[in-house]
Amino acid sequence: MLLIPAIDLRHGQCVRLEQGDFERDTHYSTDPLEVARRFEARGATWLHLVDLDGARDGEPRHIDVLEQIASRTRLKVEFGGGLRSSAAIEQALGAGAARVVLGTAALEDADLLARMISVHAAVVDVGIDARNGYAAVKGWVETSGKRAVDAAADVVRAGARRIIYTDIATDGMLAGPNVDGLRTMIAAVSVPVVASGGIASESQLELVAAAGAEAAIVGKALYTGALSLSTLQRWS
């Protein structure tokens, strides 16, 4: 299993939210490029870059940061947040994203998802963010009426080739991942699933790997030292 470090962007800075709450954010750095380079130096090959402002506003706000990191490191960047139009998706890919992550757009705009999969199937992932078992949208501000596993099954039938699954209750809490929810998601779809949310130790990484995740996204644990940066090399 691959370990992918995360950078969440708000007002140009690296932050982490607790359970997706914009009122409970912790600032870690004013220099996302320096943080990305630190991850790269410790063995990371991929970076999960999330535009929190874009997710809430409905259009990307940090394409410039994506472009800096993609051009000034060797990291392969998967970028999400506010990608709700074909123009925004093409802009992110043009700025150097190796993969784009569609969340709200994938669940609410079937035509856009179909168009993007027809053109960019290999580089379009779908983020399924679950709150109490139901898919959340619009920067986690709203919860849809569809179960997360059903939403995932729908986008896979539409052609999605990878699911990034986040359990919102555990995200940013360092209390451990929802392994049962992860297993349920993996069983519901026929494509690779990337796990995100709550991982705070190497033993928890091993649980996520044993559940069958293709990769695990970790943010806060790397910033706080709960997981050593050297862990990136062991799981690269």
Two tokens, residue 1:
């299993």
Q: CA nearest 98: which of 85, 81, 79, 114?
A: 79
Do 152 and 189 form a contact (C-beta atoms < 8 A)? yes
How many other CB atoms are found less than 10 A from the CB of residue 120? 15
Ramachandran sector of residue 43 (left: φ over 0; alpha: ψ -120 to 50; beta: rest) = left
Which position has the token pair 């580089």? 123
171: annotated active-site residue = no
Q: CA nearest 46: which of 68, 79, 18?
A: 79
How many other CB atoms are found less than 10 A from the CB of residue 132? 11
Three-state DSSP class for residue 66: helix
* CA–CA dist 2, 216 (Å, integer): 6
The one catalytic residue among 51, 53, 125, 129: 129
8: annotated active-site residue = yes
Do 83 and 55 form a contact (C-beta atoms < 8 A)? no
Residues serving a catalytic function are: 8, 129
